[in-house]
């Protein structure tokens, strides 16, 4: 393979799309437009938005497929009906008929209260799951005062793979029921080689009084 051919091949993905490294300032001198999808990128595409209003849960049962490498769920001001429940999630391989995927996780949190008397930074083994089908806590003891809620993200990687387990990472900040800021970080994997095709969010007790969750696909 010649040098020119090899250089050209190294700048194209296996699906025939140009990598960003294939372009530089000089290569764009005479380009007036690039066709949609011709350049590999990392764009976030909004796929779905759900708004809660006294709902038992928020479920995403469509749109999770092999189209995207990653799916990010952005939680905006999730407000509980009850005071102090944990916010949780689970996964499904059957379109949401059952949310019972086996998971192994690790849970870490940091916090600081308004009175500056109870700072915390610790690994929380009691919030871990070890080969469990239970819902995973991701937001801790969220208060239900009018100004209290939790917000953050959950990222799910390669959910449609039928070869590998499915990794996920969450980063949620909660207005703790005892007037503290609690940042909870959870990471883990769904121990299944079946495709994940639905995600469910709910509080451990009581309804989701208000809030929105957006699902983005990341190329």
| Whether the predicted pLDDT of 95 surpasses 60 | yes
Count of H helices and E strands in the chain?
1, 12
Predicted TM-score (pTM) of the model is 0.81
Return the domain boundaries, the chain. 1-33, 44-218
The pLDDT value given to residue 3: 59
Render pLDDT for 9-25 as a digit per residue (tens, 0 to 9): 676 776 666 666 665 65
Strand partners, 217: 45, 71
The pLDDT value given to residue 9: 63
Q: For 178-212, b where at least 16 C-beta lie within 10 A, e where not — what string?
A: eebebbbebebbbebeeebbbbbbbbbebbbbbbe
The pLDDT value given to residue 179: 93
Level-2 CATH architecture, domain 44-218: Sandwich (2.60)
The pLDDT value given to residue 13: 72
**What are the angstrom distances between the C-alpha of 134 and each of 61, 98, 99, 161, 216?**
19, 11, 9, 22, 25
Render pLDDT for 5-64 as a digit per residue (tens, 0 to 9): 566 567 677 666 666 666 565 554 555 555 555 545 568 999 999 999 999 999 999 999
Alpha carbon distance 109, 182 (integer Å) = 7
Render pLDDT for 161-216 as a digit per residue (tens, 0 to 9): 999 999 999 999 999 988 999 999 999 999 999 999 999 999 999 999 999 999 99
């Amino acid at each position: 393979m010649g040098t020119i051919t090899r250089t050209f091949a190294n700048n194209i993905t296996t699906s025939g799309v140009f990598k960003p490294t294939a372009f530089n300032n000089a290569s764009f001198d005479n380009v007036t437009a690039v066709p949609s999808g011709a350049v590999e990128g990392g764009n976030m595409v909004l796929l779905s938005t759900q708004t809660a209003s006294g709902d038992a849960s928020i479920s995403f049962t469509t749109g999770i497929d092999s189209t995207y490498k990653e799916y990010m769920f952005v939680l905006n001001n999730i407000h509980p009906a009850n005071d102090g429940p944990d916010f949780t999630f689970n996964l499904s391989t059957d379109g949401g008929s059952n949310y019972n995927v086996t998971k192994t996780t690790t849970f870490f949190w940091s916090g600081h209260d308004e009175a500056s008397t109870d700072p915390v930074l610790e690994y929380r083994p009691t919030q871990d799951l070890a080969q469990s089908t239970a819902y995973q806590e991701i937001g801790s003891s969220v208060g239900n005062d009018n100004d209290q809620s939790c917000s953050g993200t959950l990222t799910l990687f390669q959910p449609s793979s039928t070869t590998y387990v499915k990794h996920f990472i969450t980063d949620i900040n909660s207005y703790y029921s005892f007037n503290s800021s609690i940042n909870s970080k959870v990471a883990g994997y769904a121990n299944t080689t079946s495709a994940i095709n639905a995600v469910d969010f709910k509080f451990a007790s009581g309804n989701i009084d208000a809030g929105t969750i957006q699902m983005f696909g990341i190329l």
